[in-house]
Structure 1
Amino acid sequence: MSFPIVVWILTALAAVAIVLTRLRLSGEEAAGQFSISRRISLVHFGAGMVALVLWLGVLVAPEDSLIGGAVVGIVAIAAWWVTAVCGLLILARWLPAKGRHVPEASGDGWSDGPGLSLLAHLGMVVGVLVFTYAYLAAAV
């Protein structure tokens, strides 16, 4: 499997993670040990959509075009990093806590526990590392 194919697969998986996170956190009571600010979810979705659109432009457009240019690529990578960091902050809702007043972890019907969130958001960090390397090495 060649490197550009891996980048395309990771791009599709990142798009799925962005959309599913938005759907999963859109309810009144999201799963987890703690509640998180809706702003983190909104920034995750907004930066993710900007990153996805710009990144697709970088992958598809020629390098000498406005869409495939260096500035767009750098902004896309930066937006991917913002998305990944927000994803890690979203994972914080699953951190274990002890104490008498700590609420019990709630479920949401998507999965039992943080498995899906861990897979999506740690996978997003790995994907963004690959995107960054691919862009800097001019592999895409």
Structure 2
Amino acid sequence: MEWSNITWFLTALGAVVVLLTRVRLGGESAGESNRSSGVAGYSAGLLRVHTTVGVLTLVAWVAALVVGRQEVALGALAGWWLLAIVGLLLLARWLPSHSRHGAGKAADAWGSGAGLSLLGHLGMLIGVCYFTFVTFTERL
């Protein structure tokens, strides 16, 4: 098994998750307005943190992979974990609200419901666990 190929592939997927999260949530209707029924709103600040941390982490992680320095990788790894936590907080908006007058969730489709968010952010969590393994076992 070639560790570097898997690491580069998961790095690219991490970039896609950051980009798609920004595109899906970052339009004019960020936050409370124009959201699906049964889905909680999210903070526009949380989305900015997700995007900023994501871009900075990607730059640091790619630099760590290119130079092969574990010190740089450890700093980037902290960014990956922060990014995963913020992504899971954004994902939590899909939890049911159970309010008395709330309607059910809108129907899920691949690009418009919880499916893509679940796939991306839970996949990101698994990827960050892999990055942690690769970093601490010195397989950069």
State TM-score, norm by structure 1: 0.85
How far has the Cα of 1:96 moved from its partner? 1.3
Post-superposition CA distance 1:27-78 (Å, at most 9, x none):
20355701011111111111111110000000011x4xxxx351x2221000
- Which 4+ residue blocks in structure 1 deviate beyond 2 angstroms? 29-32, 99-113
**2 CA distance for matches of 1:107 and 1:77?**
36
Q: 1:112 to 1:50 in 2, by over 3 A?
A: closer
CA–CA distance in structure 2, aligned partners of residues 7 and 26 of structure 1: 28
Paired with 2:35 and 2:76, the residues of 1 have a C-alpha distance of: 29
Aligned to 1:55: 61
Distance 1:60 1:134 in 2: 14
SS at match of 1:131: helix
Contact 1:22 1:41 in 2 (8 A): yes
CA distance in 2, matches of 1:99, 1:17: 30
- Distance in 1 (CA, whole Å) between partners of 2:41 and 2:122 is 20
Q: How many residues align?
A: 134
SS in 2 for 1:35: coil
Aligned to 2:97: 97
Alignment correspondent of 1:138: 138
CA contact (8 A) 2:40 2:97 kept: no
Structure 1 unaligned runs (5+)? none
Unaligned runs of 5+ in 2: none
Fraction of identical pairs, as percent: 43
The aligned residue for residue 7 of structure 2 is 7
User: Which residue number corresponds to residue 46 of structure 1?
Assistant: 52
Paired residues for 1:80-95 under 5 Å: 80-95=80-95
Distance (Å, rounded) in 2 between the aligned partners of 1:12 and 1:116: 16
Deviation, 1:121, is 0.1
Shift of 1:105: 3.5
